[in-house]
Structure 1
Amino acid sequence: MFDFHWPLAFLALPLPWLLRRWLPADNRRSAALQVSFLPRLQQIPATQGESTQVARLSLLTIAVWLLLVSAAARPEWLGEPLSVPSSGRDLMLAVDLSGSMEYRDMQLDGEDVDRLTILKHFLGEFIERRHGDRVGLILFGSSAYVQAPLTLDRDAVSQWLDESFIGLAGRETAIGDAIGLSIKRLADQPATSRVMILITDGASTAGRLSPLQAARLAAEQQIRIFTIGVGAERAAGQSPAGLLDQADPSVDLDEDTLKELAHLTGGRYFRARDAEDLESIHASMDQLEPALHDSAPVRAATPLYPWPLGLALLASLAWAAWHGGRDAV
């Protein structure tokens, strides 16, 4: 579709006529050769050829001006509508790699797996669906580390998560430090897009910053924290020591603190006891913090202004060549 990007430029079309009409004429006199028979020369009518040339020159001048104004209006060809995504969110994932994540109290495709394995499966699908969001990854145990800064490269984040292993950051649980590190990474981002998802299966047992202190700081920075407590209520297999554990494997999970973290920051707490719970959490997170959606379609614009500009240049060169030839004669 043909269009003009700056159609108001056409308001300049009558400008030469207005200047000619309203500006005062040049009344300066200069020395000239006096010819005694000048009045008789003025009475000689112009030939038809000269009149035609003058008319053509006037039309050429008008055409040059029209082409210049058309170029200033930025003609363009609009292509097919393209769906452009709106801006996404800055989403920081904080994943617990403490020793208790070794508990094999989860099932994936009918097989007993440890907590970290099922989380990798769940988070891999979650990251893949965050089209347009910038996703970062923090791994924490006894300390917290940034494994992936905020990035649009979701494949890289998924790979770094998949390569993580239990004990990589120590075998204790520094929840407060993980939140503090997320605050540091999210504080410079737009306030409406700061989101943190904290996933753990225990209570905070390490770190210099307490979880509630960190949550208050996050609330001041308008960072919403969604917490996920992982762990079944009864063991599905073997404990890390290899012994059958019929007791509650989630006895160390501090749900009260995780709920308070979410409450202080305007987030929400989720409990993941099995794969079905994780799928439900997945759907709930999509509703609470939606991934990128398509906005109003736009069209790719191909600029066409070089064409009238080039034609104006050629016409000006033709006028100059014709005028120069007359002066030479």
Structure 2
Amino acid sequence: MLELQWPWALLLMPTPLLLLWTRARVSKQTEALQWRFAQQLYTASSAKKQTTHKMSLICFLGAWISLIFAITGPKWLGEPTHIPPTGRDILIALDLSGSMQVTDMVLNDRPADRLMAAKSVLSDFIQERRGDRVGIIVFGSKAYLQAPLSYDLATINQLVQETQIGFAGEQTAIGDAIGLGMKRLEDKPADQKVLILMTDGANTAGRVSPLQAANFAAQENVTVHTIGIGAEQMTVQGFFGPKTVNPSSDLDEPLLTNIAELTGGRFFRARSTEELADIYQILDQLEPTPGIDTLQRPVTTLFHWLGLLALLLTGGALLASGSVRLRRQQTP
């Protein structure tokens, strides 16, 4: 759709006709005082002149029309696109310690380790967070920022899929992960500070204790949701045959519960991939995305193209009028 910023400039369009009309009424004594452009228009308008004069007139008029349309500030509005409004800033802290390689989960009817299950569920969760900025923290013996807060959910998802067990060490620094999340969420509105921490163990490393970090998070209005991942029963092959063990015996549920309660979040227990998927659906409800998208039209400015066209047509008109004068001089 074409839009004119200053449509009143179109009132200047008949100016050349007014100049021709004025030129026809003036006396021969004042012809030398007339505007050179009007003189050329009057000369070119005569029916007795050659085709070159007509071409010069057409080029001048085309340049004038292009110039007037350029002055109006024309803009082409493209098709409207949906822009999601600004939502929450969500950091996801993902445990990459050695215990995340325990194969006690099922994914697509096949055995899978805990990290594979977490990646699968996180992929769906991240893709649904349109309008939110999402970032990734990975932690093991230390905590690292894998992906800063960004609206580019496709890239965030790709970085999650590229994580591997052991990237951050073999132990579990829960307190450091919370502390890093607080640092990345500082200076954000209170209702937008959300940290989702997923782990399968207890705090065994780090410089900051988890409860101390949780108290600081509460003071900064950072909501921390904690997820304990890992099955409670698993059959393994022992010396005397198969036996059932609890692969999540190291999971510190009381600690994760305290962290969530101190910060106004919730603790979730994921014993299977299905439970983990259900948890992230609940988190979608607890931390809803913005409701209504806004519409935005791409705007293309046409001023420079019309200005260039007017310049080219003016050059063509000058060349045409110059060739006419040259022929006159050559005629005996």
* TM bracket (short chain): 0.5 to 0.7
Q: Could you tell me which residue of structure 2 aligns to residue 195 of structure 1?
A: 194
Aligned residue number for residue 105 of structure 1: 104
1:76 aligned residue: 75
Q: Distance in 2 between matches of 1:212 and 1:222?
A: 15
| Aligned 8 A contact 1:90 1:135 in 2 | yes
Give secondary structure in 2 for the equivalent of 1:237.
strand
Alpha-carbon separation, structure 1, partners of 2:260 and 2:80: 41
Equivalent pair of 1:104/1:238 in contact (CA under 8 Å)? no
Residues 156-167 of structure 1: pairs in structure 2 closer than 5 A: 156-167=155-166
Quote how far apart the aligned CAs of 1:282 are. 2.4
1:113-144, Cα deviation, whole Å (9 max, x unpaired): 22222112222332333345433222212221
Give the one of 274, 277, 280 matched to 1:276.
274
Q: Which residue of 2 aligns with 1:246?
A: 244
Query: How far does residue 87 in structure 1 lie from its aligned partner after superposition?
Result: 2.5
Cα distance change, pair 101–299 in 1 and its aligned pair in 2 (3 A): closer
- 1:76/1:49 CA distance change after superposition, 3 Å: same
Instruction: Determine the C-alpha separation between the residues in 1 that align with 2:237 and 2:101.
Output: 8
Say if 1:93 and 1:197, in contact at 8 Å, map to a contact too: yes
What is the DSSP-based 3-state SS (H/G/I as helix, E as strand, rest coil) of the residue aligned with 1:171?
coil
The 1-side partners of 2:301 and 2:112 are apart by 58
Aligned letter for 1:99? G
Report the Cα distance in structure 1 between the residues aligned to 2:155 and 2:237, rounded to whole angstroms: 32
CA distance in 1, matches of 2:234, 2:306: 76
TM-score normalized by structure 1? 0.66
Give the corresponding residue for 2:208: 209
Alignment correspondent of 1:289:
287
Cα offset, 1:296, TM superposition:
2.5
Please state if 1:260 is matched with 2:236.
no
Secondary structure, in 3 states, of the residue corresponding to 2:216? helix
Instruction: Check whether the contact 2:75–2:302 (CA below 8 A) recurs between aligned residues.
Output: yes
Instruction: Give the aligned residue type for 1:115.
Output: R
Q: 1:81 to 1:138 in 2, by over 3 A?
A: closer
Following superposition, the deviation at residue 178 of structure 1 comes to: 0.6
- CA distance in structure 1 between the partners assigned to 2:238 and 2:214 by the alignment: 31
Segments of 5+ residues of structure 2 without an aligned counterpart are 12-21, 39-65, 318-332
2:165 aligns to what SS in structure 1?
Answer: coil
2:122 is matched with 123
Q: Which residue of 1 aligns with 2:18?
A: none
Deviation at 1:199, TM superposition (A): 0.1
Indicate conservation of the 8 Å contact 1:84/1:294, yes or no. Answer: no
Residue of structure 2 aligned with 1:49, choices 7, 16, 25? 25
Judge conservation of contact 1:130–1:292 (CA < 8 Å) in 2: no
CA distance in 2, matches of 1:146, 1:198: 13
Aligned-partner Cα distance in 2 for 1:70–1:265: 61
Q: State the Cα deviation string for residues 139-192 of structure 1 (Å, max 9, x = none).
A: 212221223333444444444433433333333221100111111222255554
Number of matched pairs: 283
Partner of 2:279, secondary structure, is helix
String of CA shifts for 1:36-80, please: whole Å, max 9, x gaps.
xxxxxxxxxx998229x99xx9xxxxxxxxx99997774433333
**In 1: Cα distance, 2:92 partner to 2:275 partner:** 18
Structure 1 Cα separation of the partners of residues 205 and 103 of structure 2:
23
Q: Deviations over 1:245-302 (max 9, x none)?
A: 5243333322232223223323222211112211212222222233466622222233
Identity over aligned pairs, percent: 49
SS in 2 for 1:246: strand
Describe the SS at the equivalent of 2:202.
Answer: coil
5+ unaligned residues in a row in structure 1: which ranges? 14-45, 58-66, 319-329
Structure-1 residue corresponding to 2:56: none
